[in-house]
A = this chain, B = another copy of it.
Amino acid sequence: MTLGVGLLGAGTVGTAVLRLLDEHAEDVARRVGRPIEVVQVAVRDPSGHRDLPLGPDRFTDDPLRVVRSDEVRVVVEVMGGIEPARTAILEALRLGKRVVTANKELLATHGPELFEAAATTGAGLHFEAAVGGGIPLIRPLIESLPGERLTRLLGIVNGTTNFVLTRMTEDGTSFDDALAEATRLGYAEPDPSDDLEGVDAAAKCAILASLAFDTRVTLDDVYREGIDRVTLEDVEFARRLGYVVKLLAVAELEDGEVAARVHPAMVPTDHPLAAVREAFNAVFVSGPNVGELMFYGRGAGGAPTAVAVVGDLVTAARLAGQDRPGVTFPWEPRRTIRPMERMESQYYLLVDVVDRPGVLAQVAGAFGRHRVSIRSVWQEGRGNEALLVLITHRANEGDLRGTLDDLRALDVVVEVRSVMRVEGEE
């Protein structure tokens, strides 16, 4: 007997899902144990989808009608956005129907509500496609690593910003030109602010941190800085010092507390994340037993994301009707979220100072007063002024902020030109 699937959304991802299900019908049926068929599709304009291999009677503009249809056993949500996706998914879960979703925004903001609903009815909510496009991340984090207590996660989870930073690093292209190229190639959306400001990466960071540390982390828990203040000068100094600049999602477990943040960071060139170029994504995790793991691939795009959706759909279809969640998401708050002031990192600073004897001692004094240990310093004369490039050892964010205040108050300091975290080294 055929298993009926309801599809919510038929944009880039939804269309690719329909194509893959058509191409791999036989293979999918063998893995599921029976054929699956998309019996209803909710779209904004039901008359506008003549090119899809489905009759016009399959289309509706009402997601709830799809969800409630007796023919529909599993729901695939690829419409994106909060509403009506949220209401439709909750209704499907309430009816005991398994749901596959690619909606990271919804999970990062309303995840706890959805996963609680899934846990209550045992229906199962599958979301491999919500983070990292076609990269298998969710399944390995949930199912392959119960024998490990991960301690750190570093991710390049936004293709747009990684493309821009790669062009700046490898070709010396300006930020604006690199962004224009990303838009031309389809890597950046017409309004790229969610990407550039790190909102997209922070949503993914919340989901990944939840899974890695088995506790609820939502978008609001993630500290966030975008790449708009990264200059070609920073990128060039990074190169000279043996680093590359990346927008990183960082999640750490320290003393039982979870720290989660998104910001530009310098990564050592021999770190595996440094080789993640262009619009590629990668997530790097580490723990005391497994050592270091990295998952790499295309983090966006219709076809890669659709591959992840189909993988989840096969699992959901196999489990349909069984009261056993395919995956369990930690929607309960099991751990404290560490505030940004108490997070730790290494820091890179670029400081303009007047070029006269005793300056370095004054600058070093400011660091010492706040217990920030300098790991390396490099001075470059520029006429009457000099440029100091400093890299610290791992230090507390609050202490670093104190150091910055002191530096800015010094007569010999003309300007603190740049501050950036350094990750992946210690």
Contacts and interface: CB of A to CB of B under 8 A. Distances in A.
A291 B147 contact: no
A19 B314 CA distance: 35
A214 B24 CA distance: 13
Contact of A146 (B144, B274, B294, B314): B314
Nearest to A134: B290
Nearest to A128: B144
Interface residues of A, number: 55
B303 A298 contact: no
Interface string A306-327: 1111110111000000000000
A276 to B, nearest CB: 8
Interface stretch (A110-118, A135-143, A344-352): A135-143
How many subunits of this chain does the assembly comprise?
2
Nearest to A28: B146
A155 interface: no
Contact of A311 (B145, B307, B315): B145
A146 B149 CA distance: 29
A277 interface: yes
Contacts of A328: 31
B303 A292 contact: no
Given A20-B148, A28-B147, A147-B306, 7 more contacts: A136-B144, A136-B145, A146-B311, A147-B313, A272-B276, A289-B303, A291-B301
Interface of A: 16, 20-21, 23-24, 27-28, 31, 128, 134-136, 139-140, 143-149, 214, 270, 272, 274-277, 280, 282, 287-298, 301, 303-304, 306-311, 313-315, 328
